Amino acid sequence: MKKLLFVCLAFSLCMPAFAQEQSSLEEQAAAAVAATAAEPEEDIAERNKMLYSLGFLLGDNLKKQLILDNEDDYKALSQGMRDSLLNKESQTELDSYKPQIIEKYQKDAETISQRHLQEQKEYLENFSKEKGVKVLDNGAMIKLSKKGKGRTAKADSRVTVNYEGKLIDGTKFDSSYDRNEPFTTKLTSVVPCWTKALQQMRPASKATVVCPAETAYGNRPVGVIPAGSTLIFTVELISIDD
């Protein structure tokens, strides 16, 4: 429509009737500009919050791969990201720094892995000393908070449970409570930790089940669960179905 108006004005071909239409269109355009300018502040604020959240999640993921030691590290990294996102020229000769980047990733990965292992070890040692904790023969641990009644499950039983799973830092990775739907499974189809721990439970019982990595997913990552992770479950045994 702007092109049409421009042609009419350039060649002075606009008729009176069209002049009225032009005036109406200009009023509509002005109203549209005003509406854009008057976009509710809460919409802008929500967008900013969304983008901030995205940036936070990107940073959270990045810090799992890199070690940044001080404020200058953060500033240099964020400036590089900003320049890239704004399509600016790099302030460095990128190819010449690739070997150093690869080396940093490798060294930081090893350091982060060692820290992770130490944290897992300390958590397991501390939990094993808590009152009421039973350490099973495969290394899994269980602490009953409610005993329940009836028979215990067998290694091949089918059970129905409610549960919530977390990492030692409190990150929740799964929950039947959130889905509002109990989980039914055979104990031969779950991680070894569950196979052993649920044989210690009776219907209506509740427990904290701690699974060292070797009784869960070992050294392979699964979803948000990093490799080598200790898993912590709150489990309620609803029923033994066979």
Percent of the chain with pLDDT over 70: 84
pTM: 0.70
- Give the pLDDT confidence of 87-127 residue by residue, as tens digits: 999 999 999 999 999 999 999 999 998 999 999 999 999 99
Expressed as residue numbers, the domain containing 201 is: 127-240
101 assigned to some structural domain: no
State the average pLDDT over residues 16-38.
48
Instruction: Give me the pLDDT at residue 90, please.
Output: 95
Of residues 9 and 153, the one with the higher pLDDT is: 153
pLDDT over 80 at 42, yes or no: no
Measured in whole angstroms, how far is the alpha carbon of residue 24 from the centre of its chain? 51
Number of domains in the chain: 1
162 assigned to some structural domain: yes
Using alpha carbons only, give the angle 15, 17, 21 rounded to the nearest 5 degrees.
Answer: 110
pLDDT over 50 at 23, yes or no: no
180 assigned to some structural domain: yes
145 assigned to some structural domain: yes
Residue 42 phi/psi, 5-degree rounding, is: -65, -30
62 assigned to some structural domain: no
Report which residue type is found at 124.
L
45 assigned to some structural domain: no
Which CATH number does the domain housing residue 190 bear?
3.10.50.40
8 assigned to some structural domain: no
Percent of the chain with pLDDT over 90: 73
215 assigned to some structural domain: yes
